[in-house]
Amino acid sequence: MIDFNVKSNIKDFESLVGKHKDQVPYATSRAINETLKGARQYLIRHIKRRQKSNKAWWNNKRTGINRTFARKDKLAGSIYTCIWWAQLQEEGGIKTPHKGRSIAVPTDKAPKYARKSGGIKRLMTGKKVFATSRGIYRRKGSKKRQVVEKLHTLTPQAHISRPILHFYRTVEKYVRRNFHRNHEKAMVQAIKRAR
């Protein structure tokens, strides 16, 4: 879960706006929620650039990129995902199978499409592709001079040393750039509304 909380300097801000300080919680909650909306869109664009996925998993209501909105009495917002591999892609570590007994780790012979989500299924439809308990292989050449090349190694676990999605860094970058602007705009609108 990615949280940002703006309670820390609320008292100082209230003293700056004088008689309109009762509008600060309303404006702050609106600014948080507007920033959350933009941060989610920014994060999804970042994910699409870094992860070539055929499935829009980020739109899933249960496991996608979701938000917890702020209220006037709770000035905090969250962007989060419950997808099972998110922490591995953020921090690295040991990957174990989500389904089945093995993970297919591509070799340098594996085609590009077979390294992506859903690629193994497509690969296995090939007539010359077969699997054993140790890997996925492809036959090449004619019947007389046939060569077998290993496309994937099947292993009970794999080490993720280079995370690719950087959820925290991406959201933090957006929030730092945009929250202050959104807060000023929301405060102006709140003061006009109060008159």
Provide the pLDDT for residue 29.
Answer: 92
Q: Which residue's entry shows tokens 């249960």?
A: 62
Which of 163, 151, 182, 194 has its CA nearest to residue 86? 163
The dihedral built from the CA positions of residue 120, 126, 129 and 132, taken in this order, carries a sign that is positive
Burial class (CB in 10 A: 0-12, 13-18, 19+), 127: exposed
| 82 pLDDT higher than 60 | yes
The residue with tokens 């209230």 is: 14
pTM: 0.69
The pLDDT tens digits for 101-111 are 888 888 999 98
Among residues 45, 6, 29, the alpha carbon closest in space to that of 170 is found at 45
Of 126-135, 139-148, 149-158, 167-176, the one with minimum mean pLDDT is 139-148
7 — alpha (psi -120 to 50), left (phi > 0) or beta? alpha
**Which is more confident, 39 or 117?**
39
Q: Is residue 146 pLDDT above 70, yes or no?
A: yes
Question: What is the pLDDT averaged over residues 42-62?
Answer: 89
Average pLDDT, the chain: 84
Q: 167 or 20: which carries more pLDDT confidence? A: 167
Contact (Cβ atoms closer than 8 angstroms) between residue 15 and residue 8: no
